[in-house]
């Protein structure tokens, strides 16, 4: 599979995500950031981190990173799908670290968790889609029509008729007798 077009889509989407997360904020940010952001252990345990913010913001963070997970899982070979999880986590970590330097952005552990959750959801969507696709292909290859299960019927002129209790078969069209089994051995 040629992944170059998908790589271009991934690069374009990454640029959009970087603009949304690191570009100039069109809103005034409240200063709920604890000094040091995600690098400060106190930010991870502070009640302010987990009790402030809106549900819509959290859902947006998850939704923004679902395509990141999908694209990473599609770009990385199937056997190495855990790398797609690492790529999603690394991307959001890099964004949160860059936000430490921005004056109008907040580096927040909650954002890191929500963004990573979105990437994980995206990776698992691809994994489930691949499993369904594979199961469908396997099921389709095992389905046979009822006519395929029956032995092919021979033409009427060559069909053998076996008489009940007899050990000879009679060919219907020519009337010749063919020996079979023990009776043929005794006759010989």
Q: For 2-13, how does the pLDDT look when each residue is reduced to its tens digit (9 = 90+)?
A: 778 899 999 999
DSSP, collapsed to helix, strand or coil, labels residue 170 as strand
Q: Where does the pLDDT of residue 159 fall: very low under 50, low under 70, confident under 90, or very high at 90 and above?
A: very low
Calculate the average pLDDT of the chain. Answer: 77
Sequence-distant contacts of 22-25: CB under 8 A, at least 24 apart: 22/95, 22/98, 22/99, 22/102, 22/105, 24/104, 25/104, 25/105
**Spacing of C-alpha 91 from chain mean position:** 20
The stretch 33-52 carries a mean pLDDT of: 71
What's the pLDDT at 148?
Answer: 58
Sketch the domain layout of the chain as residue ranges. 4-142, 154-187
Taking Cα atoms as reference points, which of 25, 8, 5, 10 lies closest to residue 88? 10
Measure the CA–CA gap between 181 and 167, rounded to whole angstroms.
6
Selection from 138, 105, 83, 80 nearest residue 23 by Cα: 105
d(CA 86, CA 116): 9
pLDDT tens string 106-131: 788 888 999 999 999 999 999 999 99
pLDDT of residue 52: 73
Contact at 8 Å (CB) between 53 and 132?
A: no
Judged against a pLDDT cut of 70, whether residue 1 lies above it is answered with no
| Rounded to 5°, angle at Cα 13 from 9 and 17 | 170
Which pLDDT does position 54 carry in this prediction? 79
As a whole-number percent, the residues of the chain with pLDDT over 90 amount to 38
- Any idea what the Cα angle at residue 121 is, between residues 17 and 66, rounded to 5°? 20
Q: What is the pLDDT of residue 4?
A: 85
Residue 22 has pLDDT above 90, yes or no: no
Can you tell me the mean pLDDT for 77-88?
A: 93
């Amino acid at each position: 599979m040629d992944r170059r077009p998908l790589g271009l889509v991934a690069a374009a989407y990454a640029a959009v995500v970087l603009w949304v997360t690191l570009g100039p904020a069109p809103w005034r940010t409240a200063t709920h950031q604890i000094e040091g952001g995600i690098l400060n252990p106190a930010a991870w345990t502070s009640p302010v981190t987990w009790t402030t913010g809106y549900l819509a913001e959290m859902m947006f963070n998850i939704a923004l990173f679902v395509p990141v997970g999908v694209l990473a899982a599609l770009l990385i070979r199937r056997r190495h799908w855990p790398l797609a999880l690492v790529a999603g986590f690394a991307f959001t970590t890099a964004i949160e670290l860059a936000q430490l330097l921005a004056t109008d952005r907040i580096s927040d552990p909650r954002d890191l968790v929500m963004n990573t959750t979105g990437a994980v959801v995206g990776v698992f969507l691809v994994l489930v889609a691949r499993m369904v696709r594979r199961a469908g292909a396997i099921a389709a290859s095992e389905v046979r029509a009822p006519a395929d299960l029956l032995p092919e019927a021979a033409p009427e002129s060559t069909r053998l008729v076996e008489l009940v209790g007899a050990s000879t078969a009679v060919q219907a069209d020519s009337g010749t007798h063919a020996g079979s089994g023990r009776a043929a051995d005794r006759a010989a």
